[in-house]
Amino acid sequence: MNSVLVSNNKIFPFLVLLAFYLHNLCAGPNDSFLQKPSECMQHSVGKWAVTADGMAWLASEEVSSIWADVIAEDHDAININVPSFKFKWDYGFRLGLGSHLLHDQWDTVFYWTRFCTDAHHSLSSIVQLVPAQEFFAGFLSGDNPNRMSASWRLSFNLADWELGRSCCISERLSLRPFLGIKVGSINQSICAQYDGLIIDEVVTNNSGTEHLKNNFFGIGPSGGVNSTWTICNYKSHFFTLFGDVATAVLWGTWTCSDVYKNNLSYTSSVNTKKSSLGSLACRGFMGIAWDTNFNADKAHFTAKIGYEMQFWLNQLRINTFQLQRLQEDLTLQGITFSWRVDF
């Protein structure tokens, strides 16, 4: 028992000295500089700022049953499978141009974000399998294909303008609240190919195509907070954790259409009026960053890497075979690399 107490009495002072040493190592000879975290520094370094981000994102949106039902009949049982589209990982970019204002250390910045992705799926009939398409125009035709394939294309274009101000809350924490305007479009298209149409229970060589569009355009106010926690400072190099959150409410317009044609000169279409509704969008971005000055402290460089997620409420509004509009959410998430230069 006494030996344990003695060892603890020796370890505790050692841990205190070790913590003090690590603190001085990270602080370096320029510890007074820590009172200005990287976000606050940028106001005193140059007037302009440019940003370039690269994204590796994965999109997800639709419910699985909008594509097809695969019905397998067995003597005393019926099994229904609902295959789904799966978007692949794709790349996008975000470019920005900003300026530090003379009034009260405010700053303004403009961003343009572009991301495109697609998904593919196909089905082939075998014994005791009957695929039935559920896009409404194809459903109206009554055509039952033996083979089906479809491609889904999503194009995301967004412009953001922000007006914000960085505030040093403490020696290691800074916040940048901002307000702005968000405007952009999210266009989606689905192209389906139906081959081997079954007519009077006989598989034929006839085929059909179906094209669906779900286009959105919106504009509205946005706001959020960028936060930076300085975890280590060595000379003029800062290592920080950051967390950004933002939300926007857009007045949006959806344009949707669905047209089916087969090679027997049959056409069916579903045309709905434009719908103008509110749309909620949320964004989160968190990770680790490195900041440093260069060019005799006349310029500043920031590099970030982290996880980003964007959530768009009720984006998909195409009609299913029940003639009811879907109201499915769009989620974009993945890794974002960010570079910024203030000069």
DSSP 246-304: EEEEEEEEEEEEEEEEETTS-EEEEE---EEEEEEEEEEEEEEEEEEEETTTTEEEEEE
Looking at residue 315, what is its pLDDT?
93
Q: Which residue, 136, 265, 130, 293, is CA-closest to 198?
A: 130
Question: Would you say 283 and 158 are in contact if contact means Cβ atoms under 8 Å apart?
Answer: no
Mean pLDDT in residue range 235-246:
92
How far is it, in rounded angstroms, from Cα 39 to Cα 52? 17
User: Residue 89: helix, strand or coil by DSSP?
Assistant: coil
Provide, rounded to the nearest whole percent, the portion of the chain with pLDDT above 90: 48
From the centroid of its chain, how far is CA 219? 18
Q: What is the dihedral of CA 237, 241, 247, 253, to 10 degrees?
A: 70
From the centroid of its chain, how far is CA 52? 16
Task: Return the CATH number of 36-342, one of 2.60.450, 2.40.128, 2.60.40, 1.10.1200.
Answer: 2.40.128
Give the sheet arrangement for strand 129-133, strand by strand.
Answer: 77-81, 68-74, 129-133
Q: Which two tokens stand for residue 142?
A: 């009554």
- Give the pLDDT band of residue 294 (cuts 50, 70, 90): confident
pLDDT reading at 153 higher than 70: yes
Question: Would you say 55 and 336 are in contact if contact means Cβ atoms under 8 Å apart?
Answer: yes
Distances (CA, A) of 21 to 11, 17, 231: 15, 6, 15
pLDDT reading at 29 higher than 80: no
40 or 299: which carries more pLDDT confidence? 299
39 or 202: which carries more pLDDT confidence? 202
pLDDT tens readout for residues 253-291: 999 999 999 888 888 888 888 889 999 999 999 999 999
* Every domain of the chain and the residues it spans: 1-32, 36-342
How far is it, in rounded angstroms, from Cα 337 to Cα 308? 10
Looking at residue 131, what is its pLDDT?
52
Return the residue matching tokens 């959806």.
254
Q: Which residues contact 245 (CB under 8 A, 6 or more apart)?
A: 224, 225, 282, 283, 284
Q: Which residue, 303, 176, 299, is CA-closest to 238?
A: 303
Return the residue matching tokens 């952009």.
184
Return the residue matching tokens 């003695």.
6
Encoded amino acid at 63, one letter: V
How far is it, in rounded angstroms, from Cα 30 to Cα 27? 7
63 or 136: which carries more pLDDT confidence? 136
- Give the pLDDT band of residue 43 (cuts 50, 70, 90): very low
For 72, other C-beta atoms within 10 Å of its C-beta total 14
Mean pLDDT in residue range 313-338:
84
Looking at residue 325, what is its pLDDT?
66
